[in-house]
Amino acid sequence: MMVDLRSDTVTQPTPAMREAMLAAPLGDDVFGGDPSVNALQEKIAGLLGFEAALFVPTGTQSNLCAILSHCQRGDEYIVGQMAHCYRWEGGGAAVFGSVQPQPLNHQPDGSLALADIEAAIKPDDAHFARSRLLALENTLGGKLLPFEYVQQATALAKSKGLDRHLDGARLFNAAVAQAAQTGGNPCPAAGPSQGGAAPAGGSDPHEVGERGGDIFAEARRIAQCFDSVSVCFSKGLGAPVGSALCGSREFIARAHRIRKMAGGGMRQAGMLAAAASHALDHHVGRLAQDHALARHLADGLAGIQGLEVEVPQTNIVFVDLTGAARAQSAALLKHLASQGIEATGLYRLRFVTHLDVDAAGVDRAVAAIRQFFKAK
């Protein structure tokens, strides 16, 4: 059986999620008439404390809609060099919206230095693009942005007249880690779904059947520092497709227009929305399991000569190949593939745990890597 550690985007819908998708009531979302989409939008907006939300096919489109709703042609957004909406989304804001990015270097913890943010804000002068938006990402490369920093950075942006957007593709991973730091219970007792009865856990090991009250509270604390938040359902939450953009009603109305221009109207999208809603009801509390497996993987790789293992904060483990081991990178990946284990990277390998990876799979990966270096 394949152990796919490339990303948490490779997850497959659970049997219970597939049942929820098949049972979803449908309508035409372009006309605003899909009840499952409408219910999801109300649910995620309510959970994170916003007036409205918009269901979109991808996180890339969600960030694009956000940036173009905050900014006009000739404006700029301040963002990190390694932020997804700058580095890995094809330059969409610049290409489609003529919005200039102002990338800044990250600090070791993933943050942008407050002094760098303030220095990057342009004066109101015809020589410069207009500084309009600060875009942060949490988690960033699996790292949790410290909450005190999030408060400080967003307060600074607001004081300077900038809007604030959060790429929260893995917001709930951040919330799990933050709940653990603040003494919250990452997997509390099951509670009722929003507007319904408590979900059944069933026999599927993926179905935790826990809402995770402390986790949602932390997610909301993070989200409320921002004017808009993008949340991905197809990563750690395990839905097959989809993200949501949250904000004020006026903001979401602007984003809805941009989604239309970007081709994001999906008609009977309720089957996809039902998967995302199911994930919110059943897969949030279990994210703590992914974090524990990531730590287990990192512990298993510690001490191998030629590997520097970054201690994971959430579900992503980075491993740097050093010295003579760098020359073995391609051979290592080939060896792992021959053992039915997939990962990404070259000299810096990335392993991501998710609901389709268990402890046995992680142990297989550790054993295969140790076998490779022992043979070498």
- Structure confidence at residue 182 (pLDDT): 83
Angle at CA of residue 36, ends 32 and 39, nearest 5°: 85
Reduced to 3 states (helix: H, G, I; strand: E, B; else coil), residue 63 is helix
Could you tell me which of 278, 287, 254, 230 has the C-alpha nearest to residue 57?
230
Count of H-run helices and E-run strands, the chain: 14, 13
Which pLDDT belongs to residue 183? 75
CB neighbourhood size of 51 (10 A)? 13
pLDDT score for 211: 46
Please tell me the class of the 11-282 domain: alpha beta
State in Å, rounded, how far the first CA of the chain is from the last one.
Answer: 26
Nearest-angstrom CA–CA distance, 8 and 71: 31
What pLDDT is recorded for position 212? 57
Domain 287-375 has CATH 3.90.1150.10: yes
pLDDT computed for residue 375 by the predictor = 76
What residues does each domain of the chain span? 11-282, 287-375
The model carries a pTM of: 0.92
Rounded mean pLDDT for each run of 10 residues along the chain, 376 residues in total: 96 98 98 98 98 98 98 98 97 97 97 98 96 98 98 98 98 97 55 31 48 85 98 97 98 98 97 98 97 98 96 98 94 96 96 98 98 86
CA distance 43 to 63: 20
Q: Determine phi and psi for 66, rounding to 5 degrees.
A: -65, -50
| Alpha-helical runs (H) found in 33-161 | 35-48, 59-70, 84-87, 92-97, 114-120, 147-159
